[in-house]
A and B are shown apart, each in its own frame.
Chain A
Amino acid sequence: MRLEEHLRKIVGEPWVISGKERKLYAYDGFTAVEGDPELVVLPGNEEEAVKVIRLLLERGVKFIVRGSGTSLSGATVPVGGEVIVGLSRLNRVYSLEGYEMEVGPGIANVMVTKNAPPHLFYAPDPSSYVVSSIGGNISHDSGGVHVVKYGTTFNSVISLRVVLSNGEVEDLSYGPFLSALPIFVGSEGTLGIILRVRLRLYPRPKTRRSLFAVFPDVRSAGEAVVGIFKRGVIPSALEMMDRNSIKVVEMSRYRAGIPDVGALLLIELDGDEEEVEEQEEIVNGVLTDTGGARLSVADEGKVWNARKGAFPAMGVISPAYLTLDCNVPRRALPEVLEEVSRIAKRRGVFIANVFHAGDGNLHPLIPYDPSSPESLFRAIQASNEIVKEALRVGGVPSGEHGIGIEKVKFMGLYHGEAEMRVMRRIKDSFDPRGLMNPCKLLGGCEPKTEVTRWLWEWD
């Protein structure tokens, strides 16, 4: 039986997408490279998903598991004509016990908190929380504004059910010795398929308070960030927007009346009322010392939404953009931010910075014109320089968006040959035939287009 026919038998006629419509799965949140999936299959439950994956493994077909397709590093782009297995229909809540919820991988992040009892919440909240899936969140170890206090997705995963490359279904949980679970977090679908997840919920803090502060420049805002931690406060969120990103947001539907300033800090404190009072006082002191001024706003939610909507709001000035997410030590923030603006000038690109300042996770957004390869090339060149600068000050190439096809060449730069060899050996033992999400994370593919060459090779 032909593969397509066989797949249709498993999942039902409408859930295999072939013909030209399969192109709707040609890319994700990273739009610079267009792939071409051979087929798209959308299983409707666990059994179907296992059957589909076993069939693909049996036939030696390369495939990519996809959640909601919002990866910013192109981790679901079928550059080699792979079959896409979309798991968005596996979105059930299986159980809720105490502080734990068991869900299917396709459920949108936002639905976890929605399904939780009112006194609990799911902490990792990437800005894409309204759409991105838990399976994707785990595979990229996604962060969000609450990472500073609650950690990345990693800290909220209790157990996983996965399908391995021999077709076996395994339940993994934490163990004290050589635990198998953590390696799946951040593995970008290259080691196995996540079928089911048990997540940790946190009790909602009694008090949550937002403070907003404006600064004349990013350097002083960066100093305030360092100062807040130095004085012993761990905010539950600490975000920064620079002048360019404020401008863009104020042109979009997320406009929140933020004034035209050098930088805005968005700070959230949580805990008991007393604790929060105390923290607020300390933060106020830091703001005064670093030249910041409290901004009082009528609608706090609006300002937070402005932050969360800042990436896609770029659409108002440009239909495409690169988003970097290198992490740098907090103390290096002021220095790196200044270098970023020098790079922008040198390369003749616009760069907006809106990011998780609390954990030093930068997000320079670099718009480019998709109809002009030259403009994309310049954006990629600027990214290269920024990532190198981050590494120079002791940072890492990606804090939360993953490597995908976008950052493979930085892996070698950061890890060195020996570490890369170890990682490849790990990949080989999980997936000896290289069928699961080839080319991603560890690279190893020949670029077939100009853009992938720019991305994968140093010039």
Chain B
Amino acid sequence: MGVGLEDSCVHCGFCLEACPTYVVTRSEVHSPRGRITAVKLDVDSQGFDTCMFCRRCELACPSGVEYARIITKVRRATPEKILMNSLLERPRLAWRVLKAGKSLNSGLIQRVRLSLRDPQEPLEYREESPEVILFPGCLTSLAYRRTVENALKFLKAKGLRVSVLNGCCGLAHRSEGQVERAQELVRRLTNVKGGTLVSLSSNCTAHMRESGVQVLDFSEYVLGLLGQERVELSLTVHDPCHANMIGLGKATREVLRKLGVNLVEMEEPSFECGAGGGYFLFHPQIAENVMELKAEKIRRSGTNLVVSTNPSCSLVLSFKGFQVVHLADLLAQTVTKSLE
């Protein structure tokens, strides 16, 4: 089963405490080192499936082990997951299925509906020769239509021509081992022309950039647009895992600083939220333990208001009772104010 990359792992264990599934199980089976060893020793381990694909282990690894490339080669997506991922490729279709799903008896749809209580119709918006091509990301378009509207509102207030591009970047596919499909999807985005591609879901931004797509995260793009806007709030920031890998947290904080927000940092802001993409639909117990650990870290910050720039994280954090906002939601407030 070896994939030829696992050999660079020296079995030092430096990645263990960085891994959310290890932290809550403390079992080698659910650890990066264990998963890599399983590949090395040709053990078909349940750990392959329980990986949240947050890649925190890669950041912790002193030997530069390319964990993501190892795990995606040995992961086999189940038919259920393949079905879910293919739905995500077409957010509008997904919306219809989910809406109809109330009466459907599929276990998966029921579970999705548990976390996505109120699927919304993805926002369609098009302008001639747009300056900004706004990419919400599949889950944002379904779960956070409001955020997409808010982003649009802010960009319009800045006098920009915008088109919304609904679709999926393929990150979910990649994390489940559907590497080829993921590449097909992301390749489509490489070819987007006529305007700056701006992504509202920061983990998607990271995935696209790593795959060679010219894309800016919403946080990076708005940095150049900010003027006198002010937001008087106390809040804390969650760093979505993939976004954290390419350091997007910096841009997010820079935006917040410019807005004059009172930022109270939580402990380990990049600690996995527990969503792990679609993870919490499939391994509820481990996910619940990770979510609870994350929630404790947030509670200790003393604030209930959390900025999250990635939809699956936002869903999980609201699940845990926090009030969650995207940068776009904060920025939209400044627009209304200046109109008043």
Contact = CB atoms under 8 A, between A and B. Distances in A.
B12 interface: yes
Interface stretch (B24-32, B99-107, B230-238, B271-279): B24-32
Interface of A: 15, 17, 20-21, 23-29, 31, 40, 42, 68-70, 86, 88-89, 91, 106, 108, 110, 128, 130-132, 252-254, 309, 311-316, 319-321, 370
Nearest to A306: B62
Interface string B14-29: 1011000000001111
B43 A20 contact: yes
Interface string B64-78: 110000000000000
B63 A24 contact: no
A252 B12 CA distance: 15
The 10 residue pairs across chains A and B that have the minimum distance between CB atoms: A315-B63, A312-B62, A312-B12, A88-B26, A309-B62, A315-B10, A24-B34, A24-B28, A131-B13, A20-B43
A91 B26 contact: yes
11 contacts: A20-B45, A24-B43, A26-B37, A31-B11, A86-B26, A88-B26, A130-B17, A130-B60, A253-B61, A315-B10, A316-B64
Contacts of B64: 252-253, 315-316
Interface in B36-56: 37-38, 41, 43-47
Contacts of A68: 13, 16
Question: Which of B26, B43, B62 has its CB near the most chain A CB atoms (within 10 A)?
Answer: B62
A108 B29 CA distance: 18
A69 B13 contact: yes
Contacts of B29: 17, 21, 24
A252 B44 contact: no
A311 B44 CA distance: 29
Given A28-B11, A42-B27, 8 more contacts: A20-B43, A68-B16, A128-B13, A252-B62, A253-B61, A314-B10, A315-B9, A315-B10
B7 interface: yes
A27 B11 contact: yes
Interface string B246-270: 0000000000000000000000000
Interface of B: 7-14, 16-17, 26-29, 34, 37-38, 41, 43-47, 60-65
A311 B62 CA distance: 9
Contacts of B17: 108, 110, 130-131
Contact of B14 (A31, A131, A370): A131
B244 to A, nearest CB: 15
Contacts of A31: 10-11
Contacts of A70: 12-13
A370 B7 CA distance: 9
Contacts of A27: 11
Nearest to B44: A20
Nearest to A131: B13
A315 B8 contact: yes
Nearest to A132: B13
Question: Which of A29, A110, A312 has its CB near the most chain B CB atoms (within 10 A)?
Answer: A312
B40 to A, nearest CB: 10
A51 to B, nearest CB: 18
A321 B14 CA distance: 16
A23 to B, nearest CB: 5
A21 B62 CA distance: 25
B5 to A, nearest CB: 11
Contacts of B14: 128, 130-131, 309, 312
A69 B43 contact: no
B12 A128 contact: yes
Nearest to A91: B26
Nearest to A44: B26
A319 B41 CA distance: 15
B46 A252 contact: no
A132 B14 CA distance: 9
A313 to B, nearest CB: 5
